[in-house]
A and B are shown apart, each in its own frame.
Chain A
């Protein structure tokens, strides 16, 4: 597979503040690559270096094997969809889309034909003469994408393009964007702070925090096997629980730890990190890996009692908010809407359980004072 974009040890410093810190990644041709991170972690800065608006303080950026150092944005085979879309209000939709082709001195007839085709492709046929401010949020979105895609860039960079849309439209545009990307086959680098956008659309996701990449992986792995506590917290929901290792059992293919929580629960969990008896750990449990009233016959389960505090109904995403008995530790547990658990009421004392395979453990993070 051909590598369209290769970023090696890229650093960006603003005076003495490091916004992007030794970031490296490769994106293969035709892939949908996302960079996921909280606000201010350096996503836009990284994208602006790829598009040429910032010169990296260190490291190299290669597009299709060609070093981009010193090449200005208007000469790079990448296009950027801005966080605020930046459609030109002084032009109509057709002129917006034709802008790039006109700069390449294309023939008028060619421009007209390509513009029409592009508008059809993004589902806005015949919109050439509309004014930009007559468009809805989703339509603006599509015009912005059409305006860049018409130049057939090697890589299309998208800076949180769905941020300004309402929830329903965002869900719809997510799917549309992915479909469009598959159709045109252009390499997309997409940045967002919304994990669902990243997980739904991407082939690979990089999780970014404070200028560094914490993990680059497939969405599935990111969710199932987070490599750092930050990824465990940031991608998907997680219950965080501190515990201490009281013993370690090594079997052939996995290592199992006995752990004890401050509340006195004793659990078994598999672990990947290098941990020893006596270590303090952080245990992460997904709400959906906690079972409600598990079948007593399953022997391997870790079991503990909870007191239901409240039921957070949210359709398929419903939760039980529960407390451990005689403690104020809160735990969120998925509440499957199968009617099986309809009898559960706030105040009930019930049993919950989880399988040792679903535990995610990390050495306790040193608390930064």
Chain B
């Protein structure tokens, strides 16, 4: 508990934590507002230029409640995943940069306990982080829907509201998994910058590869998040490429997705613990 308290204190008092959250929330709001604002223009544009009723329908499925809840979650899980990678990598990597691993280990702290405590602190802080993103996202999507003239009917539908807790838990898990991957890479590389760079690199390579081998890529750590956050029976959902809708061959069912996400999360934790256990701490 003392260890966890220390880790939480470090992260909460760190400006980078708040900057990461702030930028993400800004991107979240701007993107939804931009989509909302484009709704009418797109409706008037000819189909050949990406406009027309079909394009409008896609936007409607993003912004109209109750499906909009899933769009918010999916947006947080995918684009927010990038920010989660940054958060995880900087939590693990900065300790190397500042020589603080050395301080903890030479005080007799167990390496395994230390690194897992740090990962748990990251996961715990992602709870308020995910909640804040959810609240801000829902407000932004409601605004966007209003701007688009779609209204916010269905926002309070009991069915939709009932699914929210489980949706929020899945969103959080998606963020924790992606943060853990950045965390593990930074621990392996002993560097914040490397963790963040390699993590984001893999993220984009994965989404690029999804265009060629979707049936394989759907199982990979960043793509599987799309499947985890898709609401069964709705068309809602933004995949890593940001395109609306998802085909069965590019996603997996939710239970499989959940198990895969947990597996990637646990694997990241184990890799981090082993990497630190074996590391020479010099410099």
A and B: bona fide binding partners: no
* Chain B interface residues toward A at CB < 8 A: none
